[in-house]
Amino acid sequence: MERQPLVRRAGAHRSPRRQLPTWTLLGTVCAAGIGGTFQYGYNVSLISAPTQHIHKFLNGTWQSRYQTKLSSSMLTLLWSTIASIFSLGGFFGAHLGGIMAGWLGRKGALLMNNLLALFAAILMWASFPTGLFELLIIGRFLIGMNTGIGLCVQPLYIGEAAPRHLRGAMVIGSSIFLTGGILTGQVMGLRELLGGEECWPFLLLSCGLPAIIQLLSLPWFPESPRFTLLDRGDEAKGIKALKRFHGPLRYHKELEDIQRENFALGGEKAKKPWELFADRSIRWQLIAVICLTMGQQLSGINAIYFYASYVFAETGIPPEKIPYVTLGTGMCECLTALTCGLLVESLGRRALILGGYCLMMLWCIILTISLTFQVYAWAPYLSMACIFAFILSFGLGPGSMSWLSFFAVGMLFPFVVKGLKQYCFIVFLLECSAVATFIFCVIPETKNKTFLEIKREFHKLNFRRAKEPDEESHERQQLCLEV
């Protein structure tokens, strides 16, 4: 039986000239970002400011509850749990994000996710007046789930809403909001604002504000047109969303791309996670996702933040001034995110990611040398310069987040430092080299390509020694591309 297109073509349309994004698209990027990647960056950075105050709270709560002093080892365990359980929550949230995006839609999943953030914020705030540090642990886990869902759904939503030639720049908006969240968390954590001893519960409560903003703003924007057309089969709403995102005169090309994808995927059922690993047609896509997401966090960016305060202190900066210097790291990330948004459509994604990893390799080498000669007066300043350069290089390309590797680096890096001392960054040099080699050899460029064109690039890798197993499906794809 011949499949019919979702909508009938009214006529041939020329490829639209490059145009600026519509106000609806820009508003959607902002509304989705404030409760998505901004929330992640904000919660990653704000927990560092009240560290000493939370230690004091844990000591006091333990002594009043058990009539005994909290040992240093137990204090370290409790604090490590509070800090790292955020990553475990993100791991589970990332798994839920795909399910929620399929059931509720991209916009619906983001809106529902905000309820989790509000509940988590209340729990973390309530831990201090109630004297229950368990609420703080539960709240950190739940806000981790919230950010895991947001990081999964937000780029998907924006990528499906944006025109092909603006997709890279719009998705980079996720990185801009992430780095903006990190910088905002660092600013709010200053003792003059909410970083003081009496204000830290309100600092943790403040993570509910981005959720409220998204709940009030996102409902005014349409659902993903690709989801509406392909998953829901609602032609009227899908075309209406395309007109709002792309403009009433420029939506036809994107509609044709969605029609082609619908033909190419006709009859193909959604696979369960474990079935993906047995599907040869997406083998290299899976390998690429795993390598890039793990490579981002295993690259050493968290180790750089771990060492930053120590290096700043070695340069002679007073301890009370270090939080202000640390703001420079957040500003570096914001700067690179903005720069990347301007460069991604001209240089392409592959070049930026590959270049970022190569530069990080260089800074790992120089930082290792400077740490080896730390006794010299110039070495701490070179180390500080390497820290900022590494962060700038990281922001150029390496993008996605891997929650398990984030958790692993946070837990294991102190032991790596103890064992390897100044040579600890050699580990990350090797990792950056391996990821850069993988990107150079495997990852195709996606600049100005449709989803089907990207799929064909990976098809060459997946079946380079075998004939296409489904000739009928292949012929249908070719026919659609020729229409």
pLDDT tens-place string over residues 53-63? 888 999 989 99
Among 254-258, 382-386, 400-404, the range of highest mean pLDDT: 382-386
Residue 404 lies in a domain: yes
Confidence of residue 459 (pLDDT cuts 50, 70, 90): low
Residue located via tokens 């080498």: 365
Overall domain count for the chain: 2
Residue located via tokens 């109630």: 130
Domain harbouring 420, CATH code: 1.20.1250.20
Q: Does the pLDDT of residue 285 top 80, yes or no?
A: no
Residue 179 CA, chain-centre distance (Å), reads 10
- Looking at the structure, do residues 320 and 200 belong to the same domain, yes or no? no
- pLDDT for the residue 8: 43
Q: Does the pLDDT of residue 31 top 80, yes or no?
A: yes
Residue 379 lies in a domain: yes
- pLDDT for the residue 277: 64
The answer to whether 355 and 396 are in contact (CB under 8 A) is yes
- Looking at the structure, do residues 340 and 414 belong to the same domain, yes or no? yes
Q: Which residue has the higher pLDDT, 329 or 153?
A: 153
Q: How far is 80 from 418, CA to CA, in rounded Å?
A: 17
Confidence of residue 118 (pLDDT cuts 50, 70, 90): very high
Average pLDDT, whole number, for the chain?
A: 76
- Looking at the structure, do residues 445 and 351 belong to the same domain, yes or no? yes
What is the mean predicted confidence (pLDDT) over 270-286?
63
Least confident of 173-182, 297-306, 324-333, 436-445: 297-306
Task: Provide the token pair at 353.
Answer: 């990611």
Q: Does the pLDDT of residue 46 top 70, yes or no?
A: yes
pLDDT digits (tens, 9 = 90+) for 215-240: 999 999 999 888 888 888 888 888 88
Domain interval for residue 318: 272-463
- Looking at the structure, do residues 211 and 284 belong to the same domain, yes or no? no
Residue 358 lies in a domain: yes
Residue 474 lies in a domain: no
pLDDT digits (tens, 9 = 90+) for 315-349: 677 777 777 777 877 787 777 777 776 676 667 66
- Looking at the structure, do residues 217 and 311 belong to the same domain, yes or no? no
- Looking at the structure, do residues 282 and 141 belong to the same domain, yes or no? no
Q: Does the pLDDT of residue 263 top 70, yes or no?
A: no
pLDDT digits (tens, 9 = 90+) for 81-93: 888 888 889 889 9
> pTM here?
0.71
Residue 50 lies in a domain: yes
Task: Provide the token pair at 167.
Answer: 């997709």
Q: Which of 160, 176, 481, 143 is nearest to 330 (CA)?
A: 176
Half-sphere exposure (CA, 13 Å, Cβ side) for 37?
A: 27
Q: Does the pLDDT of residue 251 top 80, yes or no?
A: no
Give CA angle at 50 (44, 56), nearest 5°: 135
The answer to whether 436 and 353 are in contact (CB under 8 A) is no
- Looking at the structure, do residues 213 and 278 belong to the same domain, yes or no? no
What is the mean predicted confidence (pLDDT) over 405-421?
48
Looking at 201, 221, 241, the residue that finishes a domain is: 221
Side chain identity at residue 170, one-letter code = M
Q: Which of 282, 306, 286, 43 is nearest to 151 (CA)?
A: 43
- Looking at the structure, do residues 211 and 277 belong to the same domain, yes or no? no
Q: Does the pLDDT of residue 32 top 80, yes or no?
A: yes
Q: Which residue has the higher pLDDT, 426 or 383?
A: 383
Residue 302 lies in a domain: yes
DSSP characters over 444-477: PP-TT--HHHHHHHHHHHHTTTS--S-HHHHHHH
- Looking at the structure, do residues 195 and 60 belong to the same domain, yes or no? yes
